[in-house]
Amino acid sequence: MGSSLKFEILGRCSETRARVGRLHTPHGVVETPVFMPVGTQGTVKSMDPDELTEMGARIILVNTYHLYLRPGHEIVREAGGLHAFMSWNHAILTDSGGFQVMSLADLREVRDEGVSFKSHLDGSVHFLSPERAIEIQNALGADIIMAFDECTPYPCDWEYARRAMRRTTEWARRCREAHKRPDQALFGIVQGGTYHDLRRESAEALVELEFPGYAIGGLSVGEPRDEMLSTLELVTPLLPSDRPRYLMGVGTPEDLLESVALGIDMFDCVFPTRVARHGTVFTKGGRVIIRDAAYARDFGPLDPECKCRVCRKYSRAYIRHLIKAKEILGLRLATYHNLYFLISLMEETRKAILRGQFLAFKGDFLSRYRPTPLQK
């Protein structure tokens, strides 16, 4: 089936695999590399759609598993699809639900036909097959949808990873056959754990199926960082250079830049919003635990170099006070800032690539940014 998604390359880094691209979707253009905020249940936690637009978000991720269970994909369909249901006028990507189902280790049974699982909400029993996952995503109406896959944990043995990878490949074929909406682009997902022979087999088999885009799943699940990067270094050259490449579940500033250098175009992760709700914010100098007592009388912005409206208007002391007092505004402000930080980091990255200065930009950022929490 053809796809309405168009992807063009605008520029490349001569020293790395980094590139700048443009995704044309039915709901607007998305510049890549791009970080996609996660709206698990049809909302990016505590953020209004207008705030997401204001900070520069042009695509978000919404979770198929959660919306299938509540409120139900048929209700979303009746509302006119996710865009109308959420009042979000830009692009949406839905995951297949595979990762969430696979994380329910004690509540599910995997077989070649699909996965039987119990709802984490009420214990009701459900069955999700590749065909059902596509049916649900067709009803939700996202611009980009994902093939149903079996995501393996870390660590797992080679034989387990091989079975899951080959099942994922077969499921990808079935998803492709079941997909009925040409206005939605279906991406395949490369699996295989940290085993390079399995990753190669997975990538080559999926490329033969000719998807309009490819995701790399099963990373950032507990493996050492160098294993994640070596896996990316292997996989990205195996994927078509004229298709977008999406690394699932990665969202720290340092990992974004290292992965862009290896040829990744798209990212998503709950990390920036999750740590914000617990009082940790990103700055150019590293992560800051803003709830710490050291910031009680710090009347400067979260990050003096940040141009977001939170940093223009509010102090560390005030945001710390809100978080300590468990005021909703505190987590909203921290969330806004963290998302803006990653979205603007990707914008700066795109500009650096087009200027031919990506490697210098990356080196300068990482020399200043400390991923461990800072103590003032």
Contact assessment for residue 150 and residue 85, using Cβ atoms and an 8 Å cutoff: no
Residues 6+ apart with CB under 8 A from 26: 4, 91, 143, 183
Contact assessment for residue 219 and residue 248, using Cβ atoms and an 8 Å cutoff: yes
Residues 6+ apart with CB under 8 A from 218: 151, 152, 191, 192, 193
List the catalytic residue out of 143, 255, 265, 268. Answer: 268
Give dist(CA 35, CA 52) in Å, integer. 12
Coil vs helix vs strand at 84: helix
- The sign of the CA dihedral 328, 330, 332, 338 is negative
Contact assessment for residue 320 and residue 295, using Cβ atoms and an 8 Å cutoff: yes
Coil vs helix vs strand at 275: helix
Residues 6+ apart with CB under 8 A from 56: 340, 343, 344, 347
Give dist(CA 169, CA 164) in Å, integer. 9
Helix H segments across 283-327?
A: 309-313, 316-324
User: Catalytic residue at 95?
Assistant: yes
Give dist(CA 144, CA 366) in Å, integer. 32
Contact assessment for residue 174 and residue 98, using Cβ atoms and an 8 Å cutoff: no
Looking at residue 279, the DSSP 8-state letter turns out to be T
Coil vs helix vs strand at 369: coil
Q: Residue by residue, what is the 3-state secondary structure of 328-352?
A: HHHHHHHHHHHHHHHHHHHHHHHHH
Query: Annotated active-site positions, please?
Result: 95, 268
